[in-house]
Chain A
Amino acid sequence: MRSTRQRFSFLVPYLLLAPGLLWLAIFYIYPGFQMFLTSFWTGTLETGFALTWNVDTYGKSLTQFGPQFLRSITYAGAATVLTFLISFPLAYTIAFKGGRYKNVLLFLVIAPFFTSFLLRTLSWALILGDDGIVLGPLKSIGLVGDDFRLLATPLAVVSGITYNFLAFMTLPIYVSLEKVDKRLVEAAEDLYAGPWRPGGAIWGAVVGFLIGALLALAFGYEPIVLGPLGAVAGALIGWFLISQAFLRVTLPLALPGVFAGTLLTFIPAAGDYVNAELLGNPSTRMIGNVIQGRFLTLNDYPTAAALSFLLMAGILIAVAVYARLLGTEELTAA
């Protein structure tokens, strides 16, 4: 028995992989390779395209659409940070305090995303409208100017992406937190003597300031607006919520989930176009919008394909760097 099992055990991973990879090979890799070839085409729709191995498209695409690439990375990065800030405490509470109602809470998090994206976005547009229930009162008491708006701004685009990817951050973090043995955390709390006050507050303030300033930059506001706000929030969180036990035990155990969640958010967000289209303005277009326009409106399939492969290459490099930084190489290279 045992020897047979060992003899063929090298086959097991391949058998597990086979059905899924076959599916991807036929319905992703093969058509994707065709699309890769498309990026080397020249021609037009009406005169016909031919495979000429023209590589200039790549250079042109990169130079012409540099700002949109940069903006996509910035917005996706900002949205990833924001989803993390919202999702982690949420996932933590569900996993550690949810008790019996874990599943109900989990469904409350995911079920909004079973409704339609467009409905959710239209709802947000109603809430955040220039004279809506948020801005209307603020304007009437003179707290913000009459010209102030939330929609059709970078903030709206990033918020839209943030909202729509919340579940993709929360669920993986929950999944990895949920398996953490609570007794381990309690033991750690005892060991490290509870909250990590002054140190936590100082670190929290510094990290909060940096995050606030970077987000402000991403939104196109002055860094000084959000920096101090971030510092205060960070200090509060650092003082009250972050303990040595959390940093040394819970967070490391949650890392696989954080890693998965950030990837599930950042990667699709970098290629997103629909939030920028519905919530943005002419200066918030992302690379996804360019690809959409090149493909559908201009029928410039080679450029659309080249832009896509540049984006994919950029994302893969970013993922590799990120994996190394986080020390989770074993997650990407088992």
Chain B
Amino acid sequence: MTDRSAPEKHGISRRQFVQASTMAGFAAFLAACGTKGTGGSTAPSEAAATTAPSVTGVPSASAAASATPKPSPSTVLNFANWPLYIDTDAKVNTKHKTLEDFTAKYGTKVEYKEVINDNDAFFGTIKPVLEQGQDTGWDLMVLTDWMAGRVIRLGWAEAMDLGNMPNKVANLKDVYLNVDFDPTNDHHAPWQSGMTGLGFDSAKTGDLTSLAVLWDPKYKGKTDYLTEMRDAVGLTLLKLGKDPSQATRADCDAAIAEIKTAVDGGIVRAFKGNDYAVDLVKGDVILAMAWSGDIVQKQLEKASLKFVVADEGGMLWTDNLMIPKGAQHKYTAELFIDFYYTPAIAAQVEAYVNYICPIKGAQEVLLAAQPDIANNPLIFPTDATLAKLKIFKSLTEADETYFNTQFQAVSGA
């Protein structure tokens, strides 16, 4: 948890290693004799903050919460995020000003770790822990909306005490309110959003406006699709004139059949995660299903790259801050979220990250300091663009399995 390069840590590691391996062996033996327990042997360690535990699913009454005496912020906050998803000092790359500002204000050191590369993979690492009712060791984590929905359904997200978070209540843009997976708005807090649309090399393709190009034999073998089911199927549904926010199993079947024609026809070169952006820069593909923030970044390297929300529409997704069940420093986590929701701080993060900022007032802050960012329609999309975006329907577990199984089959696995 502390700096691994600290010299005294080495000795401890080795000592711990011997002790722990002996214990581990014994414990494994015991575990082998016993039955698979459902309840964790250790109760989640009580939060350092003394907030009254809020009941999952019940929105905290702000008035009641603010009446209780304020606990003090903890000394550390364990924050799991995606790589390069926070402002980083241009000269001293290990510095994140937003985190330092938080430390300056509350005295809390933020243990910021870029351990999330993939929603599914990260979920795989916290699932066995939360299942046993143990603490994941994280106070904050960032998950995409569909995964956030799953974690909430499983009861693995703490309800935030909105009484501690006036900025979050006031400054979250209205589009993000009352989503179906969190109608009470207290289990998640949007960190960044992004659009999914067409990314292409306009020098090779000219201007594109329709999703139909993703099926155009002209770009055979030069088109990447996204591995993210909701993006690939979502765009296909839009192409078919269907609404991804109302997707049914029949719609899914239709979309999969449509994707299959592109796969069988050799139009799709590969299904890719963020790697499609590298393919675009190298010229291995000239067209791809793309995320807005990636293209903003890659335009620096290849000016002819363009991102377009097609006439048929595009997808809107959000990555959200969440507090995992049993988090040690829940109160401090709430303080951090609220801190992030101040326009100046959100603007500071936005200037570096370049996805879409979900916080009111950030654009105004940036207009003065960095107008090129504030006026970039990919970072602060116009209302007309926003109106074309759809959020993929929150799927039930059974539907999600159905959609994913179909999509895995068409993408080769």
Contacts and interface: CB of A to CB of B under 8 A. Distances in A.
A289 B413 contact: yes
Contacts of B284: 125, 129-131, 149, 151-152
A145 to B, nearest CB: 11
B390 to A, nearest CB: 22
Contacts of A51: 36
B397 A46 contact: yes
B25 interface: yes
Nearest to A37: B36
A285 B283 contact: no
A45 B131 CA distance: 10
A278 B28 contact: no
A278 B412 contact: no
A46 B153 contact: yes
Closest A-B pairs by Cβ, 6 of them: A285-B412, A282-B412, A296-B120, A289-B413, A293-B413, A285-B413
A292 B273 CA distance: 15
A103 interface: no
A298 interface: yes
B190 to A, nearest CB: 23
Given A30-B32, A68-B413, A281-B270, 6 more contacts: A131-B284, A132-B282, A147-B221, A282-B412, A296-B118, A299-B401
Contacts of B268: 281-282
Nearest to B411: A282
Contacts of B413: 68, 285, 289-290, 292-293
Nearest to B222: A130
B57 to A, nearest CB: 15
Contacts of B282: 125-126, 129-132
Interface residues of A, number: 37
A109 B221 CA distance: 35
Given A68-B413, A281-B269, A282-B270, A44 B25 contact: no
A22 B221 contact: no
Interface string A242-274: 000000000000000000000000000000000
Interface in A100-134: 122, 125-126, 129-132
B126 interface: no
A289 B412 contact: yes
Interface in B264-310: 268-271, 275, 278, 282-284
B401 A44 contact: yes
A16 interface: no
Contacts of B25: 22, 26
A147 B220 contact: yes
Contacts of A293: 408, 413
A281 B266 CA distance: 10
Contacts of B132: none
Contact of A297 (B29, B31, B404): B404
Contact of B270 (A22, A30, A68, A152): A152
Interface string A24-51: 0010001000000000000011110001
Given A68-B413, A147-B220, A282-B268, A131 B408 contact: no
Contact of A298 (B32, B270, B278, B401): B401
A283 B221 CA distance: 13
B335 interface: no
Contacts of A46: 150, 153-154, 397
**Which of A68, A131, A280, A281 is most buried by chain B, counting CB atoms within 10 A of its CB?**
A281
A263 B374 CA distance: 58
B32 A152 contact: no
Contacts of A44: 397-398, 401
B279 to A, nearest CB: 9
Nearest to A65: B413
B335 to A, nearest CB: 31
Contact of B283 (A131, A283, A292): A131
Interface string B369-388: 00000000000000000000
B405 interface: yes
A71 B150 CA distance: 34
Contacts of B269: 149, 152, 281
B267 to A, nearest CB: 11
B404 to A, nearest CB: 5
Contact of B408 (A126, A147, A298): A298
Contacts of B411: 282, 285
A282 B397 CA distance: 25
29 contacts: A26-B25, A44-B397, A44-B401, A45-B150, A45-B154, A46-B150, A46-B153, A47-B397, A125-B278, A125-B282, A129-B284, A130-B283, A131-B283, A151-B284, A152-B270, A152-B284, A278-B275, A281-B270, A282-B270, A282-B271, A283-B263, A283-B412, A284-B412, A289-B412, A290-B408, A292-B413, A295-B124, A296-B121, A298-B405
A47 B278 CA distance: 40
Contacts of A130: 282-284
A263 to B, nearest CB: 26
Contact of A30 (B28, B271, B397, B412): B28
Contacts of B270: 152, 280-282
Contacts of A45: 150, 154, 397
**Which of B32, B118, B410 is most buried by chain A, counting CB atoms within 10 A of its CB?**
B32
Contacts of A300: 401
Contact of B120 (A131, A149, A297): A297
Interface string A179-210: 00000000000000000000000000000000
A285 B275 CA distance: 17
Interface in B392-413: 397-398, 401, 404-405, 408, 410-413
Given A26-B25, A46-B154, A147-B220, A282 B410 contact: yes
A26 B23 CA distance: 11
A26 B413 CA distance: 32
